[in-house]
Chain A
Amino acid sequence: AQSVTQLGSHVSVSEGALVLLRCNYSSSVPPYLFWYVQYPNQGLQLLLKYTSAATLVKGINGFEAEFKKSETSFHLTKPSAHMSDAAEYFCAVSDLGGGNKLTFGTGTQLKVEL
């Protein structure tokens, strides 16, 4: 069975500071990993995905994530936070053998302060 753990349900950073959102996964097969962002009253938007190619994945809006198999981690980072980054972020794992079922973490609410 797959699972995702997101450490920190709430993260607060200053505008211009580094954003680091943590995600650890558990999977019995090589995983596909995703980060989605959800703005208030909206659906989920794909930020980036890891599909067993390059371990450093670049996404939209300046975000990137690094797949570290030895640490079973897929942390999301952005060098400089912007006010518009305030949203909820979800990490998810997919076991393609299970038909692309996504298993989500519980989410991290990012707050960006002036």
Chain B
Amino acid sequence: EAGVVQSPRYKIIEKKQPVAFWCNPISGHNTLYWYRQNLGQGPELLIRYENEEAVDDSQLPKDRFSAERLKGVDSTLKIQPAELGDSAVYLCASSLEGRDTQYFGPGTRLTVL
């Protein structure tokens, strides 16, 4: 069974540029999560989807971050414009239902110059 797929794996951009990350969850998993992991820290939840609905986006900086999961399968996280402090690893995870174990993708390492 394929795991959570993320692309790109690495991205380097200059500040004020836009950037987007893509995630394809494990087949059949209804719940999808985006986390941000700063250097030397544990991951922090940005947003959680149940199918197409964003059920917890309280930690998403909505002035510059947006996310979508239009068909309830894959998802895109966007930052526009990026700031230096956005440099981090962005992790996507999925679970069968909202109460089940979360499985993580390899992450996208973003560097903002």
- List chain A positions with a Cβ less than 8 A from chain B: 4, 9, 34, 36, 41-46, 49, 90, 92, 96, 99-102, 104-107
Contact = CB atoms under 8 A, between A and B. Distances in A.
Contacts, number: 57
Interface string B66-104: 000000000000000000000000010101001111111
Contacts of B6: 43
A43 B41 CA distance: 14
- Secondary structure at the A interface, as helix, strand, loop or mixed, is strand
A49 B40 contact: no
Interface of B: 4, 6, 9, 31, 40-45, 48, 55-56, 91, 93, 95, 98-107, 109
B91 A44 contact: yes
A107 B41 contact: yes
Nearest to A43: B104
Contact of A45 (B42, B98, B99, B104): B104
Contacts of B106: 41-43
Contact of B42 (A42, A43, A96, A106): A106
Given A100-B99, A101-B56, 20 more contacts: A4-B42, A9-B40, A34-B101, A43-B91, A43-B106, A44-B43, A44-B104, A46-B101, A46-B103, A49-B101, A99-B55, A100-B48, A100-B95, A100-B98, A100-B102, A101-B45, A102-B45, A102-B102, A104-B42, A105-B42
Contacts of A102: 43, 45, 102
